[in-house]
Amino acid sequence: MSTDSGVRVGVLALQGDVREHLRALTECGASARAVRRPVELEQVDALVVPGGESTTISKLAVEFDLLEPIRKRISAGMPVYGSCAGMIMLAEEILDGRADQRAFAGIDMAVRRNAFGRQVDSFEAPVTIDGLGDPPFHAVFIRAPWVERVGDDVEVLGRVAAGAATGRIVAVRQGNLLATAFHPELTGDRRVHQLFVEMAAAAD
Ligand code: GLN
């Protein structure tokens, strides 16, 4: 399914699985492009923060002068979707983070880094996302965070539905900000990207 909205969606390209998100967004009808510099940020309507390593993305965001501009755009209502490390970057509170780790913040939640890693580094599990229908997502978790606290304004969209981590929150939305602990860009299931492109088009 494609919306052909042509909405300009950037993928923060400091580190992480940028190409997979660009492909997924393009397939959903967005005009997708990499964002590495403040001028490129100014040219997009919405932003994806990919999976990777949040401490590295944090450090590079400061070095590339993107931390404050992205925080400002978030305050001004820019839609942002964060996957895995990107979810961590959108959290108001990071548990098990590094002391000098910074976030773009915006979602009133506490996420714990590498939360599942105490049991197993990577795994796949079914996750039902509210509003995205059946079948459940085949969710891929790679040294993933989970959400330990959400504020009143945060909608919980998905929880792990099987295995040792059953019930853990792994998908949330607060206004124009969307985050998943898993990596939908690594599977062919485009429903999360489709939702985000629709959010971006609606905000445009
Ligand atoms: N463990 C990583 C972090 O803390 C996230 C892993 C991922 O994005 N796949 O940033």
Structure confidence by residue, pLDDT tens digits, 141-172 = 999 999 999 999 999 999 998 888 889 999 99
Active site residue 28: no
- pLDDT, position 5: 59
* 183 alpha carbon – ligand 1 mean position (Å): 11
**Residue 94 Cβ < 6 Å to ligand 1:** no
* 5 alpha carbon – ligand 1 mean position (Å): 30
Alpha-carbon torsion angle 193, 198, 202, 204, nearest 10: 50
Q: Count other C-beta atoms under 10 Å from residue 78's C-beta.
A: 20
Active site residue 183: yes
What does the angle CA 141 – CA 50 – CA 34 come to, to the nearest 5 degrees? 155
Beta strands 169-174 and 80-83 are unpaired
Pocket test for ligand 1, best of 84, 90, 121 (most atoms within 8 A of CB): 84
- pLDDT, position 164: 81
Pocket test for ligand 1, best of 12, 48, 53 (most atoms within 8 A of CB): 53
State whether residue 5 is helix, strand or coil: coil
pTM, to two decimals: 0.95
Q: What is the 3-class SS of 41-97, one letter each residue?
A: HHCCCEEEECCCCHHHHHHHHHHCCCHHHHHHHHHCCCCEEEECHHHHHCEEEEECC
Name the stretches of the chain with pLDDT < 70.
Answer: 1-5, 118-120
- pLDDT, position 201: 96
> Domain-by-domain residue ranges, the chain?
8-203
Q: What is the 3-class SS of 145-171, one letter each residue?
A: CEEEEECCCCEEEEEECCCCCCCCEEE
* 87 alpha carbon – ligand 1 mean position (Å): 9
Active site residue 193: no
State whether residue 186 is helix, strand or coil: helix
State whether residue 22 is helix, strand or coil: helix
State whether residue 194 is helix, strand or coil: helix
- pLDDT, position 91: 98
- pLDDT, position 113: 96
- pLDDT, position 120: 66
The CATH superfamily holding the domain 8-203 is: Class I glutamine amidotransferase (GATase) domain (3.40.50.880)
H or E stretch at 182:
none
Distance CA 18, CA 32 (A): 11
